Amino acid sequence: MRDAAKSEMDAGGAAAPRSVINISSTTGTHGNAGQANYAAAKAAVVGLTKTVAKEWGQFNIRANAIAFGLIDTRLTRPKEGGESITVGGQAVKLGIPGADSMRQLAEMAAPLRRIGSARDAAGAVLFFASEWSSFVTGQVLEVNGGTYM
């Protein structure tokens, strides 16, 4: 992205607006017991996002991150549901063991009283990809139903 923008500027024009959208997690912004490795990785995404925003802004490139809370996907549904993928000829079960109770607690903790959907997640990405966020860079948008306020 940066090289393409530099080429446009070297040719005497303005760099076309570009946007980097990184995906993080509320675990990276707030921590979560038992997930030190995951929290560290997702916090690193936030640091990378802010650094890229500072370094690449001069090339008309925005960088933002989205920190999702619990979003309903095949990986966050109960493992007992039976969904799986095949890796190297082996079936690998997807999901979280006993996720029903965790999901119920998450619904009760969120002021919106629900778990996020793929559509909710896509809306946040669409916002950062659109002109509506043309003056937003270096930010982390938490999409979590209000769980962390």
pTM of the model: 0.89
Separation CA 5–CA 13 (nearest Å) = 10
Q: Any catalytic annotation for residue 148?
A: no
pLDDT in tens, 27-48: 999 999 999 999 999 999 999 9
Confidence of residue 49 (pLDDT cuts 50, 70, 90): very high
Catalytic residue (choose from 1, 9, 38, 41): 38
Domains of the chain, by residue range, sit at 1-71+116-149, 72-114
User: Does the pLDDT of residue 8 top 90, yes or no?
Assistant: no
Give the model's pLDDT for residue 33: 93
Separation CA 112–CA 130 (nearest Å) = 25
Separation CA 22–CA 125 (nearest Å) = 9
Instruction: Name the class of domain 1-71+116-149.
Output: alpha beta
Task: Please compute the mean of the pLDDT values over residues 107-114 and round it to a whole number.
Answer: 95
